[in-house]
Amino acid sequence: MPAGGNDNKKDGLPVQSCLSSIAHGRGSIIYSTHPYLPLVASCGSSKVIQISSSLSGETSTSSSSSSSSSFTSTALPDSTVIDQIIPPSPTPVHTLTWSPSGSHLASLQTSSSLVTIFDLDSRKTRSIEAHSKDLSFVKFGSSGESFAVGTGKGVVSIYDLKTGTKKATVTPNSNSNKSNKRASLFTGQDCFCWQLPSGDVMCCDWEGVILQVWDKVTRTRENVVTGEGWLAVKTSDKSISAFGPNNSTVELNFPTEHGKLISFVLDRSGLTAAFSKGFIVRLALGTFEEIFTGKFLTNREAPLVDLAVLEEKNLMAAVSKDTVKVVCLAEGAREVLSVNACSRSSMSADAPALDVKDCISAAEFAASGSLLVGTAEGNLYLVGQPGGAGNWVEGWKDSLMETLDSFPTSLTFLFFLFLLSLTIIGELHNANHQFLK
């Protein structure tokens, strides 16, 4: 497990592109990556939602002898804004959510009763009246045909996406809607969960039928995290309650020396939790046995502020206000990127350094494996673009070769030649690009 202060730590962000505060305005931003396309929706103090390409810019590769990984850097080209959405109310946007297919984007605003729906294909926007100015979340069903909107009082309304008509309303006292069979959350049904002001957690299907209720999970209003048949809720600064198949309940308590629980993620194989003092803990899903525990940051570095996991590429990122670290989960948390974002890069004059005031505030993986890093001053950086020469995820080669061990020797040799030819072509392309410059 990597620890802070290691030898392969770099200065400066290896940035592929940037959507700056010119678009967002000064101040913190919110953003959401498209589930499939290289697009990101973002919004800041300008209160205008930007739909931009997250893969713009010419890239070049540079590496250092002190690290086995190489990083992609660029001269900070702006991301290409392909569309802008002006919300119907003058208040800040606090929620951006893509539908599972990425065909629609939903947004919510502070003190507004309107849900704004953007159609990516037609580039048209419409607003749906939700009859409450305390909207707290919006979630799409897996089919993309319905979406649910929740309020701060725990009332949830379900709408038909195509027509905008309300299909059902579920309130904290909707006992009449409760399923007689009291169906379990973990039967593979398409359902969703939310937390009530009382601390109860409710689960219902997309017809408004309540499937399950967990009483008094926590008194604090925390996000409910679901994944692979499990539901988890932060119950204190050092504990998580997990609910699983057959009504099983697991209480997870973490050492005080780890600091406060900042964030946690559920994926198909585990639960990963990040703590303010730099510790990351990963537990196996179901058994919740420890896979690894380690300190990502030293005592000299700022506390962790966010955690991101991209299970499809076995990547995990932990960020503080001035540090970005990425590890490969498939290789025992091998560190593949560690940078101090507020120092000028020693590896490339083109790699930017953040202003000391421009602290990192959030991180999220794009589907491609790139890491989107948002800052307190309204900038959104695409960091460490994978793909082509300079890919920071180098472990894929080892995984491929392990798979090829079961192949006939002749096929393995031919496939090795194919990989070698791709590498040579990539290097020739980079050399030609540098020559033309």
**Mean pLDDT score, 219-237:** 72
**Mean pLDDT score, 421-425:** 61
**Mean pLDDT score, 11-24:** 77
60 pLDDT higher than 80? no
The most confident of 267-281, 333-347, 376-390, by mean pLDDT: 267-281
289 pLDDT higher than 90? yes
The pLDDT value recorded for residue 360 is 87
Alpha carbons 165 and 162: distance in angstroms, whole number: 8
Count the Cβ atoms, other than its own, within 10 Å of residue 141: 18
In degrees rounded to 5, what are phi and psi of residue 184? Answer: -85, 150
Strand segments, DSSP code E, in 341-420 are: 360-365, 371-375, 380-383
Stretch among 127-136, 169-178, 306-315, 338-347 having the lowest mean pLDDT: 338-347
Structure-token pair, residue 97: 């959510």
The closest of 299, 186, 196, 287 to 246, measured between CA atoms, is 186
The model's confidence at residue 406, banded by pLDDT at 50, 70 and 90, is very low
Q: Is 77 left (phi over 0), alpha (psi -120 to 50) or beta?
A: beta
Alpha carbons 181 and 267: distance in angstroms, whole number: 28
Residue 178 neighbours by CB under 8 Å, 6+ apart? 209, 210, 213
The closest of 282, 368, 371 to 332, measured between CA atoms, is 282
Asked if residue 303 lies in contact with residue 320, where contact means CB atoms within 8 angstroms, the answer is: yes
Structure-token pair, residue 117: 């729906």
CA torsion 137-223-381-372 (nearest 10°) is -100
In degrees rounded to 5, what are phi and psi of residue 389? Answer: -65, 145
The pLDDT value recorded for residue 7 is 39
Alpha carbons 266 and 260: distance in angstroms, whole number: 18
The most confident of 30-39, 178-187, 419-428, by mean pLDDT: 30-39
423 pLDDT higher than 90? no
The most confident of 24-38, 317-331, 334-348, by mean pLDDT: 24-38
**Residues of the chain above pLDDT 90, percent:** 32
The model's confidence at residue 11, banded by pLDDT at 50, 70 and 90, is low
Interval 68-108: pLDDT, tens: 222 232 333 566 888 999 999 999 999 999 999 999 999 99
243 pLDDT higher than 50? yes
The model's confidence at residue 176, banded by pLDDT at 50, 70 and 90, is very low
Strand 371-375: give its sheet, edge to edge. Answer: 15-19, 380-383, 371-375, 360-365
**Mean pLDDT score, 33-37:** 91
- Give bridge partners of residue 15 from the DSSP assignment: 383
The pLDDT value recorded for residue 331 is 75
385 pLDDT higher than 80? no
Residues 344-363: b if buried by 16+ CB within 10 A, e if exposed? ebebbeebbbbeeebbbbbb
Higher pLDDT, 3 or 18: 18
The pLDDT value recorded for residue 218 is 62
The most confident of 55-59, 130-134, 353-357, 430-434, by mean pLDDT: 130-134
Write down the mean pLDDT value for the chain: 75
The pLDDT value recorded for residue 31 is 95
The model's confidence at residue 246, banded by pLDDT at 50, 70 and 90, is confident
The model's confidence at residue 334, banded by pLDDT at 50, 70 and 90, is confident
Alpha carbons 180 and 268: distance in angstroms, whole number: 30
